[in-house]
Amino acid sequence: ARQALQDSQALIERIFMAVPIPLVVSAVADGSFLRVNDAAVRYLGEPGATDLNGRTMVDCIGIEDRRDVMADLDQRGRIDALEVSLRDGNSRRRDAVITAASLPIGSMRAVVAGIVDITERKAAEAHTRWQATHDALTGLPNRLLFQERLIEALRSRAEGIVALFLVDLDDFKSINDTLGHAVGDELLVAVGERLARGLQPGEFVARLGGDEFVVIVRLPGGVDEAAAKAELLLSALREPFPGAQVC
């Protein structure tokens, strides 16, 4: 029976160490690591480390996320899937999902946790979202994001009016026809950059498509201030555009 128990414990240890996701057992009191597997050492340890001696969960997870972890453990004794921000052994910020459960060890309160890194997945999601809401040529927000921001602006109870400035480039087709589409694209990019440079914090510019742009501005001064803002935008666009030979 004793041999069977030892064999069972050895098997559990081998399984724990071989699991490909980071597994840690840490003390709740100070966050010290009581047991970690090889994947955890590779993920949370410094380059070349063979253990996590000298590091604690406090070093790896921010204070706000620690509060969320403790709140779940205190209320339910477990964490089903909590998204947190971690610092790995190279001090790089990583996005991860933690699944954990309370694990009493004698009189000590501990927690066993599995860590799944989702950094690349979140980056891919953010990139997909950016592509869906931005114009590929100018990098400006597109019609979809413009509609979202316009709804937000109209629903806001902030003081003042919401002003929309629609910018359409006169005779843009002739530029494409005479100078070529490459020059036309350069002009669109330059126009977008000038409009963006003329904005104040909280103001918004988007490309609706073709040669059409739109600017959203909240103005506490009303119509007169809107007219002045329009003149500023037009003045920026009246300056010659280097290379395109248009103004």
The answer to whether 211 is a known catalytic residue is: yes
Instruction: Write the burial class of residue 52 (CB in 10 Å: 0-12 exposed, 13-18 middle, 19+ buried).
Output: buried
The active-site residue, picked from 65, 74, 211, 224, is: 211
> If we measure between CA atoms, which residue out of 81, 79, 28, 77 comes closest to residue 57?
28
φ/ψ of residue 18, rounded to 5: -90, -15
Q: How many Cα atoms occupy the beta-carbon half-sphere of 74 within 13 Å?
A: 7
Q: Supply 153's token pair.
A: 């602006």
Tokens of 72: 């779940």
Residue 109 dihedral angles phi and psi, to the nearest 5°: -95, 120
Tell me how far apart the alpha carbons of residues 100 and 112 are, in angstroms, rounded to a whole number: 6
Distances in whole angstroms, Cα of residue 70 to Cα of each of 30, 33, 148: 12, 16, 36
HSE of 148, CA atoms in CB hemisphere, 13 A: 9
Residues noted as catalytic: 211
